[in-house]
Structure 1
């Protein structure tokens, strides 16, 4: 496992239409798929260049999940609760793969914990169709940062501290891997924090068109930012994610 402890190590999609999801992500991002079989509930692993990047599973609620790397799910779950978060059903073993749990931070942001044994998580990043950035958006930036520092030992740096752009990053071995954004300018009162990610695209505008042509939708059209060309989109069943240019 090369992902630092406390950093995102896996994403998976809960989808109400697994076949539609496979066609969509295969067409748009060139993902190939490997079905783990009935003993794993039909869980599907997506690959780029033969390396795992994401999972897909049948579920009535359509959403993407992010998982943080931990060496001990049970100990991390105890820290989550001690720091004011909650567990979502307790820890469970995935035979020959790892141990996992879903938790909620004090502001309602749901994130997974992954303790790998046989499944190391995402093995390729930084190229088209792979996760290139992860972000947590929240109404309570200070409280959320304090929680993740307590539970995961994040080292944080301030990237912006104005009313227009209040943003911190979590840095691992000198490399920022997560952004935490103050969403008070655009989130509704009481809205829970949310984790999301950016998939790399060689051409964000072309990928955005492919998404629409294959049944997805654009939430925020592609635009140039100081961090690259970005867009916010959904797949055909409404699960949201983001696009980012690679340069």
Structure 2
């Protein structure tokens, strides 16, 4: 069955993880994502606004290496930053302003970089 409303739209995204167990625990704790395991080297996620997955890899998705940056939204940026730190995430860029609002970048425990943005103060 086709989904005409989704034609040519980004439908799924996959990230590398150096530690799938820690990655899944981190995103479940901080962002409330749920996971379905497909063998020991792949886990699909849902509850993120877009479905996707993490695959076991020795690589990291980092903007310094030219990777695409996935950016999540938070209505409470400071609280989200604290939750990221408490769950074992590494803050790569603390909160800063940009023309559309404020954001920070972090590495999840599996090594991949993501960002979280919020509206201007």
- TM-score where L is the length of structure 2: 0.78
Deviations 1:80-113 (A, max 9, x none): xxxxxxxxxxxxxxxxxxxxxxxxxxxxxxxxxx
**Residue 244 (structure 1) shift:** 1.3
Which contiguous aligned blocks of 4+ residues in structure 1 show a shift greater than 6 angstroms? none
User: What is the alpha-carbon distance in structure 2 between the residues aligned to residue 11 and residue 215 of structure 1?
Assistant: 23
Where do 5+ consecutive residues of structure 1 fail to align?
65-136, 138-190
Number of residue pairs matched by the alignment: 117
User: What is the alpha-carbon distance in structure 2 between the residues aligned to residue 245 and residue 12 of structure 1?
Assistant: 23
Task: Say yes or no: does 1:231 pair with 2:111.
Answer: no
Task: Say yes or no: does 1:63 pair with 2:57.
Answer: no
Deviations 1:106-145 (A, max 9, x none): xxxxxxxxxxxxxxxxxxxxxxxxxxxxxxx8xxxxxxxx
Structural RMSD (CA): 2.7
**Residue 246 (structure 1) shift:** 6.1
Of Structure 1 and Structure 2, which has the larger fraction of its residues in strand?
1
Contact 2:93 2:106 in 1 (8 A): yes
User: What is the alpha-carbon distance in structure 2 between the residues aligned to residue 237 and residue 57 of structure 1?
Assistant: 10
User: What is the alpha-carbon distance in structure 1 between the residues aligned to residue 119 and residue 32 of structure 2?
Assistant: 16
Where do 5+ consecutive residues of structure 2 fail to align?
none
- Give the secondary-structure state (helix, strand or coil) at the position aligned to 1:195: coil
Of Structure 1 and Structure 2, which has the larger fraction of its residues in helix?
2
Contact 1:45 1:52 in 2 (8 A): no
